Structure 1
Amino acid sequence: MVAESAKSASQPVDLSLAARPNNIEAVPNLLREITKDVDNLATGTEEDRKSVAVKCRDLALALETLRETMTNHCWGQMGIIAAIGFGVDSGLWALMARNGDNPQKVTDLSSSLGMDSKLLSRMMRHVSAMGLLVETGEDGYQPTNYTKALSLPQIGHGYLGVTACTGAAALKFHEYSRKRGWMNPTDSQDTPLMYAYGTDKTVFHWVQDCGYGKHLNDYLSAYKLGRPIWADPSVYPVKERLIDGADASPDAPFLVDIGGNVGYDLERFHGRFPNAPGRLILQDLPMMIHQIKSLDPAIVRMEYDFHTEQPVKGARAYFIHSILHNWPDDVCESILAQAKKAMKPGYSRLLLNENVVPDTGAHWETTGLDMIMLALFSSEERTRTAWYDLIERKSGLKIVKIWSAGKGVESLIEVEKIA
């Protein structure tokens, strides 16, 4: 009796649970909800589509046994990441896209790519088994919209510029945490990525040195693909909040994009507001500015480190997109302090295009990105409370309003300098 009690205490969950469906009782109701919601998709919103997608995921999880869920994570998903990256790097997906929508043989593809047909067969078989490629016969496959999209640098290169060269940070996160007493990491000089790869380099220098800098930039160029941008009228009223009342002289700084990469956001803004007054200024480190191959001549390029004094004073708006989520609070305070010094009270706005995590019901894209920030930067996607703490209590600025762009999409936090 004593032995049985000890066994029960050490393993409170019976192993047989893992062989049963996760939540079979929820299936009938989920099916009813999905059927009803699908009927409304044609006239629904983007939020309605996302809701159906989440419910379909919940349905699959409810039907899976717990062992299948574990195996999917450890075998299926790990394997698919390997196979997709293999196809991107070898040119497989680009070749299949050029060949068209007809069924294609592994032997023909391997011959064109100069690779072992058995290796290619194994890769494509798993991609098909995971539902991302259509099997048409023995060693025959037909492209899908997804595999065709992988031929686009903006999509396919994410698997190399993000996952391939940083994946060990997530896989060894438990080791990193255990050795640091299971504390929430907040030191930008001691990140899980640094631990996993035995380096003292930050993510961006690490990715560059691994040879994937261009791949990361390609991925970032599609960061907002299919999602509303901050300057969309449905998110932020640019004319009323920025253009109206702005200094109209040609040399007046209108919008300064701090850490703006190669100018994606400013080009989108200029496309929407070509007649906005004053100058549009792109700022980033020399290594990034020098990567720019083409940029609208209306945008001024400027080398700048956001930890140093901001050279552009009194701009109508200073814009920072997905920068602060890369850093813990102490580094963010330094970045915000430089912007604050340059702002003109009553005139300048600081626009932070960042996720605001809701207290409940967070979307998986937001929580997923939070896990990436945790593993790569020792940072986080912040809640509303955390943003107020950082911006108002620690940095002495004032949040005017948080403008939401919907679930899983960055909000726009409008900030002013107190006179």
Structure 2
Amino acid sequence: MSPNGSPDVQAITRLVEEVKKCVEALALPDRRAALSSLRSAISVLEDPEEAAFAQIFQSPIYNFAIRMGVELGIFRKLLERNGTPVSAADLAAECAAEELLLVRIMRVLTAIGYAGESGEREYVASQLSKAMVVPYLEAFAVHSSEHSARAAIRAPEYFKLHGYKTPVDSRNCPLQFALETDLHFFDWIHRHPEKAKRFNVCMTGNKLRRREWFEWYPVAECLLKPFERRNRNDSAFLVDMGGGKGRHLEALMKSFPSTESHLVLQDLPGTISSLENLSSGIRPMSHDIFSPQPVVGALAYYTHFVLHDFTDERCRVFLRAVASAMTPGYSRLLLNEAVIPERGCPPVFATGDITMMLVLAGIQRSKRHWVELVESAGLRVVDVWVSPDDGDMEGVIEAEVAS
């Protein structure tokens, strides 16, 4: 405190500088915890009305400026200079934009840290500039504004029209309302190849900072031992349903070589027919997850972030189809999905849940919701394993056929 009893601003500033020095030494979980504490401190410092106004009025403009930064190539142009400042006139010429427009966009980008100012109308790259040339973030800046943001803008009208109820039809969501189409989201983007390509780039960022599920789920104890006891050379160890290009199976086989030739990759025909360089130890198979499961008696049936795309009703169709192929007392269903908390949900997962609802009529589920859903389809939840990485919210819901 200062001599007159008011808060010492210099002391707060010194504390912030000390925090900056400590950041590099913090492990990721500790960094997330520290970030949460600092956000709480910021909320104490902020005037509530000013904070609310900033969220309501400024956030949409921030997103606009970031997208313009991507589309004009501003971030890439700044980074190409390796720390050398660039004038507004030169940057505008390089980006083929009017100088006045660029200056106005740069006011926003520098205000929120996406670029730095080295002088009047003179700019340099910042740490956030570097982030915005990472392909999946660059793609998200455009993709989200074209889809989830448009859906969010029209969502209040949609919910008023539909009696304020959760969407249950993936072809009649706020996204369809906003785009004036009756096409499913995936059908929509695949009719626009450039959008589909961008979406696929967005999805490459999903696992960049996450450990693989088998690094914290006890594969050796829960899967390898039961499989070895069966000693069936022709049986399937794990079936990855909706497994895309097989990345998760490739990683699993690399960590557990004994699973080779006992892994099955399932996805829709278009995905399976386009596979390239899939390991010979993985068997590809065309399959719709809502159809009866053709691989009977496998040890494990696995999905990775698939069911959050679907309503509970559709998920039950899938769960019953899988259950009919499972061997009681042996087979396991492993749902590798987000498991969000009932209370204190981090913003990234709370907003992610709303995004799933607006775009796909999907949902991010809590542990309680997962247990109720799985058991409503005639299965029994054995355990819910959650990633030990603080703030990750990734889990594996393990289930068996109910006796």
Alignment map for 1:5-16 (pairs within 5 Å): none
Structure-1 residue corresponding to 2:130: 148
Taking structure 1 as reference, are residues 39 and 159 closer, same or farther at Cα in structure 2, changes over 3 Å only?
Answer: closer
Matches within 5 A, 1:207-286: 207-210=189-192, 211-232=194-215, 235-246=216-227, 251-286=234-269
Q: Hey, what's the Cα distance between the residues in 1 that align with 2:244 and 2:146?
A: 21
Asked if the contact 1:283–1:304 (Cα under 8 Å) also holds between the matched residues in 2, the reply is yes
The answer for the alignment partner of 1:361 in structure 2 is 344
Please, what TM-score do these two structures have when normalized by structure 1? 0.82
Aligned residue runs from structure 1 range 400-419, under 5 A: 400-405=382-387, 406-419=390-403
Residue type at the aligned position of 1:330: E
| Percent sequence identity over aligned pairs | 31
The CA distance in 2 between the partners of 1:80 and 1:305, in whole Å, is 40
Counterpart CA distance in 1 for 2:33 and 2:295 is: 43
Q: CA deviation at 1:58?
A: 2.6
Shift of 1:80: 2.1
CA distance in 1, matches of 2:55, 2:64: 13
| Structure 1 residue aligned with 2:3 | none
Q: Which runs of 5+ in 1 are unaligned?
A: 1-23
Task: Give the residue type in structure 1 aligned to 2:181.
Answer: T
Deviations, residues 137-167 of structure 1 (Å, cap 9, x unaligned): 2332222232222212122212233342332
SS class of match (1:302): strand
Q: Which residue of 2 aligns with 1:20?
A: none
Partner of 1:160: 142
**Contact 1:319–1:353 (Cα < 8 Å) also in 2:** yes
Structure 1 CA distance, aligned partners of 2:91 and 2:115? 15
Cα distance 1:105–1:43, how it changes in 2: closer, same or farther (>3 A)?
Answer: closer
Aligned letter for 1:145? Q
Distance 2:255 2:16 in 1: 37
Q: Is the 8 A contact 1:76 1:130 kept in 2?
A: no
What amino acid sits opposite 1:153 in the alignment?
P
Structure 1 match to 2:306: 323
1:39: Cα distance to partner? 8.9
Q: 1:176 & 1:230 partners in 2: Cα distance?
A: 37
1:121 aligns with 2:103: yes
Amino acid at match of 1:174: P
Query: How many angstroms apart in 2 are the aligned matches of 1:206 and 1:386?
Result: 30
Distance 1:36 1:317 in 2: 49
Mapped partners of 1:179, 1:226: distance in 2:
40
Partner of 1:100 in structure 2?
82
**Does the 8 A contact of 1:366 with 1:408 survive in 2?**
no
**Structure 2: distance between partners of 1:166 and 1:362:** 20
Give me the TM-score of the superposition, normalised by structure 2. Answer: 0.85
Determine the structure 1 residue equivalent to 2:40.
58
Structure 2 residues without counterparts, runs of 5 or longer: 1-5
| Superposed CA RMSD | 3.1
Count of aligned pairs between the two proteins? 390
Question: What's the offset of the Cα at 1:212?
Answer: 1.4
- How far did residue 403 of structure 1 move? 0.6
Task: Name the SS of the counterpart of 2:148 in structure 1.
Answer: helix
Partner of 2:362: 379
Please report how far the alpha carbon of residue 279 of structure 1 lies from its aligned counterpart in structure 2 after TM superposition: 3.0
Deviation at 1:396, TM superposition (A): 0.4
CA contact (8 A) 2:84 2:124 kept: yes
Q: CA deviation at 1:300?
A: 3.4
Are 2:315 and 1:332 equivalent residues in the alignment? Answer: yes
Q: CA deviation at 1:41?
A: 6.2
Q: 1:202 to 1:396 in 2, by over 3 A?
A: same
Alignment partner of 1:411: what SS?
strand
Provide the C-alpha distance between the structure 2 equivalents of 1:164 and 1:146, rounded to a whole number of angstroms: 22
Kept after mapping to 1: 8 A contact 2:210/2:392: no
Report the 3-state secondary structure (helix = DSSP H, G, I; strand = E; otherwise coil) of the residue aligned with 1:172.
Answer: helix
The aligned residue for residue 348 of structure 1 is 331
- Runs of 4+ aligned residues of structure 1 deviating over 6 Å after TM superposition are 30-43
Q: 1:119 to 1:126 in 2, by over 3 A?
A: same
Residues 257 and 318 in structure 1, CA contact (< 8 A), matched pair in contact too: yes
| Range with greater deviation from structure 2 (347-356 or 112-121) | 112-121
**What is aligned with 2:93?**
111
Work out which of the residue numbers 55, 63, 88 in structure 2 matches 1:73: 55
1:151-196 CA distance string (max 9 Å, x none) = 1212221223334233211122211111122223333342121222
Q: Is the 8 A contact 1:34 1:56 kept in 2?
A: no
**Cα distance in 1 for residues equivalent to 2:29 and 2:178:** 37
